[in-house]
Amino acid sequence: MTIRRRLTLWYAGILILSLLVIGVGTYQEISEQLRHSHRREPTAHALNETGEMVFRVGLPAVVLGLLGGWWLTRRALAPVAKLTEVVEKIHERNLREPLIRTGNGDELDRLTEVFNAMTARLDDSFNRIREFTLHASHELKTPLTVLCGEAETELRDESLTPAQHERATSQLDEFHRLARIVDGLTLLAKADAGQITLAVEPIRLDELVRDNFADAQILAEPHSVKVEWVNCEEISVLGDRHRLRQLLLNLADNAIKYNQPQGQVTMNLRRVDEFAEFSIANSGAGIPPEILPRVFERFFRGDGAHGSAVDGCGLGLSIAQWIVSAHGGTIQIASTVSRMTTVTVRLPLGAEPKPA
């Protein structure tokens, strides 16, 4: 029940109660007067007269009061409704934009003020987290450079025994993995802080997809996975070449890694309304519906992937999601367990390249 309805009901109750009080009072007054004038049937007469008064004056007053009350609560709550509407539009990115205050110093104005202060504090903590991640990833790079460099220097030492050599190689591999994670983190932290500008230009998406298809075939070979395509229409979009390549490779790499031997990967690029739609399907084990919405989260891995042989930095899909949204597109994932997982990316179509 809304506050408005509740208040009106209370108000109606109070009005009816006061009507009763007035009725009882009037009745006593009238019967007293009648008793003084020695009339015979004071009770019945008094009742009649009271009833008439209540009906003729009291009821219209109550109805008027109710309507007035309804209107008043509506008027009083209107700013709240407006506030709700504005607050609904608040999200993580626009916390800095304050709600507009009426400035008349009333309770709601004060509420707005307090609310603005709260969002400002929230914004500060969001920023601090972002900055922390950014600084952390920068700070990690210097020691990582030293570690990688020293491991490599060690590897160049001809006097190493095979066992030492193997240990140094495995160390170096882990350092490189760590470096990739830190790279991914830096990229996402920078993206969060709005510090990355895309180098946007008209791109023939089909050419990127063809390149990616060739790479995917090569990458899939050791896993005995077959890569095929349904369609590769000629489509241009406005985008950042490097980031789009990264997106496509990320998706292809995932489709291959989370596949099963003798599995299949199918790519499809087509035009759907005002969008270029790229979808990539794999015949892997699938993703259970309860964790499907979480796969774009950073470092999220399904139970199946934990401790399995799949090697990755855990940021691939988060990065893919960022690239897509930075291009004004959408990315979706659908999965049927033990049958098929499909990732669908939609990017807004760019201007057609002008014929020369």
Partner 1 sequence: MRVLVVEDEKKTASFVRKALQTEGFAVDMMANGEDALLAAASTPFDAIVLDIMLPGRDGLSVLRQLRERKNTTPVLLLSARGEVNERVEGLNCGADDYLPKPFELAELIARVRALTRRGGENKPIVVRLADLTLDTVTRKAQRGGTEIELTAREYRLLEFLMRSAGRLCGRMMILEKVWDYDFDPGTNLVDVYVRRLREKIDADFEPKLLHTVRGSGYVLKEAP
Two structure tokens written together for 243: 């980031």
- Minimum Å gap between C-beta 242 and partner 1 is 5
Which of 17, 120, 122, 214 binds partner 1 (CB under 8 A)? It is: 214
The 264-272 sheet, strands edge to edge: 226-232, 264-272, 275-282, 340-348, 330-336
Measured distance CA(248)–CA(135) in Å, rounded: 28
Which of 135, 141, 294, 339 binds partner 1 (CB under 8 A)? It is: 141
- The interface with partner 1 within residues 234-293 (CB under 8 A) comprises 240-243, 245-246, 249, 253
- Minimum Å gap between C-beta 196 and partner 1 is 7
Two structure tokens written together for 139: 């700070």
- Minimum Å gap between C-beta 181 and partner 1 is 9
Taking the least distance from each CB to partner 1, the nearer of 254 and 283 is 254
- Minimum Å gap between C-beta 79 and partner 1 is 44
Residue with tokens 């997982």: 341
220-to-215, 217, 275 alpha-carbon distances in Å: 8, 5, 28
Measured distance CA(87)–CA(91) in Å, rounded: 9
Which of 49, 109, 215, 297 binds partner 1 (CB under 8 A)? It is: 215
Q: What is the DSSP string of 246-261?
A: HHHHHHHHHHHHTS-T
Which of 82, 101, 138, 301 binds partner 1 (CB under 8 A)? It is: 138
Backbone torsions φ then ψ of 232, nearest 5 degrees:
-145, 80
**Partners of residue 203 on adjacent β-strands:** 237
Q: Decide: 238 and 247 in contact? Cβ < 8 Å.
A: no
Measured distance CA(249)–CA(323) in Å, rounded: 12
What distance, in Å, lies between the first and last C-alpha atoms of the chain? Answer: 66
Please report whether residue 207 would count as binding partner 1 according to CB under 8 A. no
7-to-16, 85, 109, 174, 244 alpha-carbon distances in Å: 14, 21, 22, 66, 57
Taking the least distance from each CB to partner 1, the nearer of 170 and 231 is 170
Q: Decide: 233 and 269 in contact? Cβ < 8 Å.
A: yes
Measured distance CA(131)–CA(23) in Å, rounded: 71
Tell me which stretch binds partner 1 (CB under 8 A): 42-50, 85-93, 219-227, 258-266: 219-227
- Minimum Å gap between C-beta 178 and partner 1 is 9
From residue 169 to residue 198, the character string flagging contacts with partner 1 as x (rule: CB under 8 A) and all else as - is x--x--x-x-xx--x--xx--x----xxx-
- Minimum Å gap between C-beta 345 and partner 1 is 18
- Minimum Å gap between C-beta 280 and partner 1 is 15
Please report whether residue 326 would count as binding partner 1 according to CB under 8 A. no
Tell me which stretch binds partner 1 (CB under 8 A): 37-45, 91-99, 167-175, 270-278: 167-175
Please report whether residue 226 would count as binding partner 1 according to CB under 8 A. no
Which of 1, 44, 163, 199 binds partner 1 (CB under 8 A)? It is: 199
Dihedral of alpha carbons 140, 143, 144, 145, sign: positive
Residues forming contacts to partner 1 in the complex (CB under 8 A) are 138, 141-142, 144-150, 152-153, 155-156, 169, 172, 175, 177, 179-180, 183, 186-187, 190, 195-197, 199, 211, 214-215, 218-219, 221-222, 240-243, 245-246, 249, 253, 312-313
